[in-house]
Structure 1
Amino acid sequence: MGIHWFILSAAAVIIIQGWVFRRFGLKRLAYARTFSVSRCFEGDRIEMIERLTNRKALPVPWLRVESMLHTGLKFENVFNFDVSNGQFYQNHKSLFSLLGFKQLTRRHAVQCVQRGCYRLTGASLTYGDLFGLFRSWETVPLQEELIVYPQPADRSQLQLPSRSWQGDITVRRWIVEDPFYVTGVRNYQAGDSLKSINWNATARAGKLQVHRRDFTADFRIIVLLNVEDHAGMWQVVNNTELIEQGIRLAAGFVQFAAEQGLETGFASNGHDLDTPGVPVITTMSSGSDHMLYLFERMAKLVISSATPFDLLLAQLADQLDDSCDIVIVSAFMNEKMELAVDRLRSDGHGVEWMPLSARAGDAA
């Protein structure tokens, strides 16, 4: 008779504890996942931080957290963490056990092996009782974003155009006089503004003298990236690594231009992650903040053609009012693109082509 009571009591305990853990196990339980930084460069090592907080007396016998991330984030020194890698995405699982009114924080080393925008939108929590007989689950929403900038190409890989890329230097060509560049004085000529008169020099010379101003290079650069890896391509890119190399080259040009104080823009027939079907065209500006803004647009660039590249060139020809230097990073140059380039040059823009085909081996 005693053994039956023991079996019934054990069964009752198992059922009751299962009901308790199922009913209250996920109550006052908080899970959060963040990155140690919000912005970094391709190749950098950062941390992904998991934090589990139990705000009740009932312990957490076991809790499994599952989520998906892109393979562009490579986890290192995995401990209490299981990663199943696919071609583009990886499924990772974390296993927790926590007493009541405790908090557990785990830090995972991550290498950012590919530029991109990585978003954590949710995680699946699976919770069980002491004996593993009962379990319940729920999805926890997450709002975390990591921007991985492309690593700018080494300066030795850049073929610098001959016009504006030399920065703040004087050149003698058709550009208007720069009011900030005073190189001396000269005799007054008909048509000179009275504001340009140098009165001290006039007093010394006994006749009207005006400031002599020099000419400066125009500080406008736009880098164009063609995401088409071969002529006749439509949307589907075969050699994505070749285009990734092109993105690094474009970032290298933007970085160099920013260091020289030049106004810089970026455009591509690829589209932004958040605006499918619309080519990327940025405004022109200068400074380190604008450089990082362009890097972020490159990080979010999807390698898929939103429009043929020759149409993008024609669109820019209609929009560009002032002359600027244009660098085209492309794997090829066809007849339609050459016609668009000829139009840009006839409008007074300097155009340089940076071919990608010769650098395919470097990207491999």
Structure 2
Amino acid sequence: MQVVELVSNHRRTPVPWLKSELAVSPHLRFEGASTSHTDRLQLVSGIFSLHSHHQLRREWHVTATRFGRQGISKALLVSTDLLGRLTLSTAIPVGVSVTVLPKPYNADAFPWEQRQLFGELAIHRRYIPDPFMPSGVLPYTGYEPLRDIHWYASAQQQELMVRDYQDSTSQSVAVILNLEKRTIMDRFASTNLDYEAAIRLSATCFDMTLAEGLPVEFIVNGRFLHDRQILPAEQQSLDMTGRYEHGQEADYHLTSSSNPRVQSATGSKEGEELDFLSVDADPTYVKKEDEPVIDYRLQGTAKSYYRSKRESGREHVQRLFRILAWLEPGAASPLAPLLAQLEHDLTATDVLLLSQYVDESILTFCTVLNQRGIRLKLGLLAKQNEDSLVAEIASRNLAELIPLYSLAGKLPDPAEVK
């Protein structure tokens, strides 16, 4: 993408020396620029000399090296006179960002024994439409029966339209991503590379279900990025542990074109409730005056979980990619209450659970789903100890174990973005 920087002097007096520094995300690469890096910030510097009523234009070719929300927070300007006696400085909030989607892995890069996870996770059993499950209208192609013609929609569209029905016997996929670390040592041992691999594996599964035309549902015990960690110029945005309000200096916020659906669910403990944030529409940036104030969570609890609708199609998959890009690394809610609720709520025929560890809650979850006849695949994102519960799950044939951690050295660089 191209970034254009304009510096203007609208006065009669010249500006002999002007230094400009752009505070940008550390994962944006400005080609040919002089930059200084920190863990959460990158400064792109430039020195100018402006004549009276003069304007300078500088163009950058910018490449994102990591998925997520990347942008420019503010511009720092420092100027001085010819003798260097007077120095003026100011900070101009910019608050411009772009959402970089994660790039799925290429299925051909997987070893042959691992391709079944994404290539044949689920297939349609039958292609028989159910007349009791309508899903909209489609243009008439000449092969549909006349009893399915929707006359009201045909009058509106000025062409013949027919009712479309869902396949009641088709399979569906639920992807559960666990971002919680089991112990403090796991938090120190895990790296950004492990997190990026987990996100890209989830994106790969979404991409494969799109190719098969299967409906997919995404569930994660993570939180969205806080604006203060990305763009200091924007004060508040989508905070899954608080209320969404307008910031004073923010021009753009994350919102949804339709009201999100917040579900209350009872957890495994008495009196404990889970917050499921389900954004039905694609999050996008809109102007501040066009955006309503929405309370995204239930009151009385600090835990939050995201659960999408089970749909198919490119728009739904792109929406899930955007959710993956907005997840905050290292921030997660407890997994056990989530699995306790999903044991009886899941209606998908195939479930893929991605986790770095296996504990008692995962063992119970595998047992319940096995009793319900739901096929479960457990993708291990980290190597387990010999005394872990993985051996018991394998011996009882509760789930199919997929050692995804073994693919770390065989896959492309996770720094690639889409």
Q: What residue number does 1:245 align with?
A: 197
Paired amino acid for 1:361: G
Q: Which has the higher contact order (CA 8 A, sep 6+)?
A: 2
Q: Separation in 1 of the partners of 2:25 and 2:105? A: 23
CA displacement at 1:132 relative to structure 2 = 2.9
CA displacement at 1:56 relative to structure 2 = 3.5
Q: What residue number does 2:374 align with?
A: 349
Q: What residue number does 1:120 align with?
A: 72
Q: Separation in 2 of the partners of 1:90 and 1:306? A: 27
Which structure 2 residues correspond to residues 152-301 of structure 1 after superposition, within 5 A?
Answer: 152-156=104-108, 157=110, 158-160=115-117, 165-166=122-123, 168=124, 170=126, 178-179=130-131, 217-228=169-180, 231-233=182-184, 236=187, 238-240=189-191, 241-274=193-226, 275=239, 278-301=304-327
CA displacement at 1:93 relative to structure 2 = 1.7
Q: Separation in 2 of the partners of 1:339 and 1:233? A: 23
CA change 1:103–1:74 in 2 (3 A) is: same
Q: What residue number does 2:252 align with?
A: none
Q: Separation in 2 of the partners of 1:83 and 1:161? A: 40
Work out whether residues 227 and 304 of structure 1, in 8 Å CA contact, stay in contact via their aligned partners in 2.
yes
CA change 1:272–1:237 in 2 (3 A) is: farther
Work out whether residues 164 and 220 of structure 1, in 8 Å CA contact, stay in contact via their aligned partners in 2.
no
TM-score (norm 2): 0.58
Secondary structure class of the residue paired with 1:326: strand
Secondary structure class of the residue paired with 2:309: coil
CA displacement at 1:358 relative to structure 2 = 1.9
Work out whether residues 3 and 62 of structure 2, in 8 Å CA contact, stay in contact via their aligned partners in 1.
yes
CA change 1:217–1:361 in 2 (3 A) is: farther
Determine whether 1:76 maps to 2:31: yes
TM-score (norm 1): 0.66
CA displacement at 1:136 relative to structure 2 = 0.8
Could you give the per-residue CA deviations for residues 87-112 of structure 1, whole angstroms, max 9, x where no partner exists?
Answer: 44323322222233333221223331
Q: Separation in 1 of the partners of 2:82 and 2:35? A: 25
Q: Say which is worse superposed, 149-158 or 134-143, in terms of deviation.
A: 149-158
Q: Separation in 1 of the partners of 2:410 and 2:38? A: 25
Paired amino acid for 1:303: P
Q: What residue number does 1:85 align with?
A: 37
Instruction: Say which of 352, 359, 364 aligns to 2:407.
Output: 359
Paired amino acid for 2:355: S
Q: Separation in 2 of the partners of 1:283 and 1:355? A: 25
CA change 1:110–1:238 in 2 (3 A) is: farther
Q: What residue number does 2:47 align with?
A: 95
Q: What residue number does 2:3 align with?
A: 48
Paired amino acid for 1:334: D
CA change 1:53–1:319 in 2 (3 A) is: farther
CA change 1:169–1:107 in 2 (3 A) is: farther
Work out whether residues 174 and 219 of structure 2, in 8 Å CA contact, stay in contact via their aligned partners in 1.
yes
Q: How many residues align?
A: 280
Going by fraction, where is strand more abundant, 1 or 2?
1
CA displacement at 1:164 relative to structure 2 = 6.5
Unaligned 5+ segments in structure 1 are: 1-45, 182-194, 197-214
Cα RMSD for the two superposed structures: 3.3
Secondary structure class of the residue paired with 1:289: helix
Paired amino acid for 1:111: T
Q: Separation in 2 of the partners of 1:316 and 1:234? A: 28
Q: What residue number does 2:83 align with?
A: 131
Paired amino acid for 1:63: L
Q: Say which is worse superposed, 231-240 or 279-288, in terms of deviation.
A: 231-240
Could you give the per-residue CA deviations for residues 54-73 of structure 1, whole angstroms, max 9, x where no partner exists?
Answer: 33433332222224333222
Q: Separation in 2 of the partners of 1:265 and 1:114? A: 25
Secondary structure class of the residue paired with 1:131: coil
CA change 1:257–1:287 in 2 (3 A) is: same
Q: Separation in 2 of the partners of 1:221 and 1:101? A: 62
Instruction: Say which of 21, 25, 35 aligns to 1:66.
Output: 21
CA change 1:223–1:59 in 2 (3 A) is: farther
Work out whether residues 169 and 216 of structure 1, in 8 Å CA contact, stay in contact via their aligned partners in 2.
no
Q: What residue number does 2:160 align with?
A: none
CA change 1:268–1:233 in 2 (3 A) is: farther
Work out whether residues 180 and 333 of structure 2, in 8 Å CA contact, stay in contact via their aligned partners in 1.
no
Work out whether residues 161 and 352 of structure 1, in 8 Å CA contact, stay in contact via their aligned partners in 2.
no
CA displacement at 1:163 relative to structure 2 = 7.5
Determine whether 1:327 maps to 2:352: yes
CA change 1:104–1:170 in 2 (3 A) is: same
CA change 1:290–1:255 in 2 (3 A) is: same
Q: What residue number does 1:316 align with?
A: 342
User: Which protein has the larger Cα radius of gyration, Structure 1 or Structure 2?
Assistant: 1
Q: Separation in 1 of the partners of 2:90 and 2:365? A: 55
